[in-house]
Amino acid sequence: GGIITQTPKFLIGQEGQKLTLKCQQNFNHDTMYWYRQDSGKGLRLIYYSITENDLQKGDLSEGYDASREKKSSFSLTVTSAQKNEMAVFLCASSIRAYEQYFGPGTRLTVL
């Protein structure tokens, strides 16, 4: 088995601040994902990466950057946090086209 670790679990920032979320997986999966989960809106794809140093934009990439410097890690940066923004950011990895493994999430609050 394996695990996906997301840090931090809770992230509180100020408006306009640059904030970074980290994700590590030990499944040795090639593909990793970042999703944003808002209440009542399901999951929306921000970025995904099919291998080390690859980045692919999802439907919600504006306002975010991502980095995949190692196969096991995938970072997401909120480039300028928006006031009253509150969401859970979920990291996932996969090796098959139908099955993703998710981390526990990072809950973001912007004051």
Partner 1 sequence: TQTVSQSDAHVTVFEGDSVELRCNYSYGGSIYLSWYIQHHGHGLQFLLKYYSGNPVVQGVNGFEAEFSKSDSSFHLRKASVHWSDSAVYFCAVSANTGYQNFYFGKGTSLTVIP
11 or 45: CB nearest partner 1: 45
Closest to 86 in 3D by CA, of 107, 57, 55, 56: 107
Residue type, 3: I
78 or 92: CB nearest partner 1: 92
**Measured distance between the N- and C-terminal CA atoms of the chain, rounded to whole angstroms:** 38
Chosen residue from 25, 31, 47, 108 binding partner 1 by CB under 8 A: 31
Q: Is 14 in the site for partner 1 (CB under 8 A)?
A: no
6 or 16: CB nearest partner 1: 6
* Residue 99, Cβ density class (10 Å: 0-12 exposed, 13-18 middle, ≥19 buried): exposed
Q: In the complex, what is the shortest distance from the CB of residue 57 to partner 1, in angstroms, rounded to a whole number?
A: 11
Spatial strand order of the sheet with 4-7 comes to 4-7, 19-25, 73-78, 64-70
Show the binding pattern over residues 39-58: x = contacts partner 1 (CB under 8 A), - = does not: -xxxx-x--x-x-----x-x
Binding footprint of partner 1 on the chain (CB under 8 A): 4, 31, 33, 35, 40-43, 45, 48, 50, 56, 58, 90, 92, 94, 97-105
